[in-house]
Amino acid sequence: MSDLDDYQQLRQKHPGWCTIESEPAIFNQILRDAGAPNVRVVELYSLDESILDEPDPIIGLIFLCRWRQDAKEIQETEPDCSSSVWFANQISENSCGSLAMINILFNAESLVLGEELTQLKSFTECLTPPLRGLCLQNSEFLRKIHNSFARRSEILQNNLDVIDACKNTKAPANENSANPESAYHFLAYVPSGGSVWELDGLKRQPVRLGEDDGEHRWLLTAMPRVQLQISKYSEGELMFTLLALTQATANTSTNQAFDASAVRAVQVETLEDNGSFPYATRARHPYVAFMRHYIRVLAGKGIQVGHS
């Protein structure tokens, strides 16, 4: 078996969720592969009413921040998960980015999802947040798409983390940790059932932020909460990112059936225009395994590499 084949098998058969790069282009590719081609992830650089002018409607926000454990944090979550919002707890340590996107997708009623996501949403509809999180963790379909962007070193590190966890030798992540990437976390903000919600997979229940007044002005309710999260960081510390999930619109008449293939074509064209598609393709390619395999082929032909 070649290095390329071995690398692909390692990705496909790895049972856990690996750390991947928090890059909108990669998230866009994950959404396409999972069956949400009419959704695009964009990075926001301001937090004011100008985000209401986005050309495509925003169906959810994702706030990426460095997680800090606060023992004095006030418990604001609802006593029970409302039936008007779909919320799943985070069970796997490295799945928070994909989980945040799923929490948003499953609350957007106007979206047309692929068969796998539709079945998963239907199956988990009546489950509790912990059981929903367990279903997502055990979804081979989602895990393979997520891990397709994992590097070999991250897969091997994930295996070591599992071993350390079994031996109880791994210290919990904190802001002084040698690997601060392990302490990053994703918070999702969505409108659902007439309310605006903060969905934190590490909390038992969602947090209701206020009423949704419609017309996509729910963002005005979510923004103060995001600003509160940002205020927790000292001035000059850039340890957060704000992403928006937007729904691509298709040029269809009101009496015409929704054409998912047309929206998919629009989305692919958009990704290629803004450079996301090529970047995601390059990020997924196993360059190290390719070079090792290429050097072996040259060596087999008697060609020395690295010598003039």
Q: Return the structure tokens found at 118.
A: 């539709």
Burial status of residue 46 (CB atoms within 10 A of its CB: 0-12, 13-18, 19 or more): exposed
- 21 to each of 27, 31, 95, 97, how far by Cα in Å? 9, 15, 12, 10
Question: For this structure, is 185 an active site residue?
Answer: yes
Please tell me the pTM assigned to this model: 0.74
Domains and CATH numbers, the chain: 3-300 (3.40.532.10)
pLDDT in tens, the chain (308 residues): 445 455 555 566 666 787 888 888 889 999 999 999 899 999 988 777 777 777 788 999 999 887 766 544 555 666 677 788 999 999 887 888 899 999 999 999 888 999 999 999 999 999 999 999 999 999 999 988 988 887 766 665 555 554 455 555 444 444 444 344 446 789 999 999 899 999 999 898 999 999 887 767 899 899 999 988 888 765 556 677 899 999 986 543 333 334 445 444 444 444 444 555 576 665 566 656 666 666 777 777 777 766 54
- CB-based contact 43:60 (threshold 8 Å): no
Question: For this structure, is 126 an active site residue?
Answer: no
Closest C-alpha to 245, from 79, 104, 53: 104
Burial status of residue 170 (CB atoms within 10 A of its CB: 0-12, 13-18, 19 or more): middle
Measure the CA–CA gap between 150 and 67, rounded to whole angstroms: 21
Query: So what's the pLDDT on residue 109?
Result: 86
- CB-based contact 141:116 (threshold 8 Å): yes
Q: Which of 96, 135, 146, 293 is catalytic?
A: 96
Query: So what's the pLDDT on residue 119?
Result: 96
Query: So what's the pLDDT on residue 189?
Result: 96
Query: 253's torsion region: left (phi>0), alpha (psi -120 to 50) or beta?
Result: beta
CA atoms within 13 A on the CB side of 32: 24
Residue found under tokens 């040259």: 298
Q: Which residues are CB-contacts of 134 (< 8 A; sequence separation ≥ 6)? A: 91
Output Rg (C-alpha) for the chain, integer angstroms: 21
Query: So what's the pLDDT on residue 61?
Result: 95
Query: So what's the pLDDT on residue 174?
Result: 47
Measure the CA–CA gap between 200 and 188, rounded to whole angstroms: 7
Query: So what's the pLDDT on residue 289?
Result: 60
Q: How many residues does the chain have?
A: 308
Q: Return the structure tokens found at 155.
A: 């897969």
Q: Which of 135, 185, 293, 307 is catalytic?
A: 185
**273 sits in which H/E element:** helix 260-273
Query: So what's the pLDDT on residue 169?
Result: 47
